[in-house]
Amino acid sequence: MPYWGDNYRLSVAPMMDWTDRHCRFFHRLIAPKARLYTEMITTGAILHGDLHRLLDFSEEEHPVAIQLGGSEPDALAASARQAAQWGYDEINLNCGCPSERVQRGAFGACLMREPDLVADCIKAMQDAVSIPVTVKHRIGVDDQGDYGFVQEFVGKLFQVGCRVFFVHARSAILKGLSPKENREIPPLRMAVVRQLKRDFPEAVFVANGGIQTVEQAQELMTPSADGPAVDGVMIGRAAYHDPWLLHALSAALVLPASPMPINREAILAPLQSYFETQRAKGISARFMTRHWHGLFHGQPGARRWRREICEGTLGPQALFDQLVAEFHPQ
301: buried, middle or exposed (CB in 10 Å: 19+, 13-18, 0-12)? Answer: middle
Cβ(175)–Cβ(99) under 8 Å? Answer: no
Helix axes of 316-327 and 302-311: crossing angle, nearest 10 degrees: 140
A 10 A CB-CB count for 146 gives: 11
Annotation marks residue 162 as catalytic: no
Cis peptide before 300, with omega less than 30 degrees from 0?
A: no
| CA–CA separation, 39 and 64 (whole Å) | 11
Question: What DSSP element (H or E) covers 139?
Answer: none
Any idea of the CA torsion for 4, 6, 9, 11, to the nearest 10 degrees? -50
Cβ neighbours, 10 Å, residue 262: 9
**Active-site position among 97, 110, 121, 162:** 97
CA 106 vs. chain centroid, Å, equals 22
CB atoms within 10 A of CB 59: 7
**C-alpha dist (Å) from residue 260 to 248, 316, 320:** 10, 19, 20
| Residue in 207, 204, 212, 214 with CA at minimum distance from that of residue 193 | 207
- Residues with catalytic roles: 97
